[in-house]
Amino acid sequence: NAGVTQTPKFQVLKTGQSMTLQCAQDMNHEYMSWYRQDPGMGLRLIHYSVGAGITDQGEVPNGYNVSRSTTEDFPLRLLSAAPSQTSVYFCASSYAGTGVNQPQHFGDGTRLSIL
Amino acid sequence: LAKTTQPISMDSYEGQEVNITCSHNNIATNDYITWYQQFPSQGPRFIIQGYKTKVTNEVASLFIPADRKSSTLSLPRVSLSDTAVYYCLVVRRGSTLGRLYFGRGTQLTVWP
């Protein structure tokens, strides 16, 4: 059982380049989300999706796009990379559930450097 | 959502019990307390969640007093492998799913 898989694990970009961070989960989770983590900080929510075809913005969405065409995949796109987007990016998924929120399952992250 | 406050760092020795306290003074009736653990170069991992009194699983115990304005994560007999950052989160029942708000967490360092 692979869980949440993120690719690539590391990436270096030049300012202005575009890139897509991939996230896939094999647990049939309805909910998926993207976070970024900067040094010494907690995680901040970028975008999230409650199901295929449905996405919404989180706390820090500027500079990022997402789409959800399948239950399994939730790619994060940087259209024009900026040094401020240097960070570690985590993808997470969970069951939608009812009542009590379900635990989030996180990938191991993509470490992105923008020069 | 209620803001959480927890110590930035804690130190312990192998075999000791570690208690990490989290303050959430403005917690609402529909809020649950949830803890995540993060090892270096890994994503956070769910540890435990509770609403009131005590919850115990194979990893930890969570103590929540009657007023629910604070909670304590208890790790019994820690080992070196428990060195990690521990996050306390308040999660609202019925809210938009998965909108977790992480603070800076508590860096726990276990020494031999």
For the stretch B49-77, pLDDT in tens is 999 999 999 999 999 999 999 999 999 99
Q: What is the pLDDT of residue A92?
A: 93
| Best mutation target, A101, A105, A106, A108, to test chain B (most B CBs within 10 A) | A101
CA distance A77 to B57: 38
Burial class (CB in 10 A: 0-12, 13-18, 19+), A17: middle
Query: Percentage of chain B with pLDDT > 90?
Result: 72
Q: What is the pLDDT of residue B98?
A: 53
pLDDT of A41 > 90? The answer is no
- What are the tens digits of pLDDT across the range B14-37? 999 999 999 999 898 888 899 999
Any CB–CB contact under 8 A between B102 and chain A? yes
Chain A environment of B95 (Cβ under 8 Å): 101
Size of interface A-B (CB pairs under 8 A): 74
Q: What is the pLDDT of residue B104?
A: 86
pLDDT of A98 > 70? The answer is no
CA atoms within 13 A of residue A98's CA, in its CB half-sphere:
0
Which residues are A85's β-sheet partners?
A: none
pLDDT of A2 > 90? The answer is no
Strand order in the sheet with B53-56: B18-23, B70-75, B61-64, B53-56
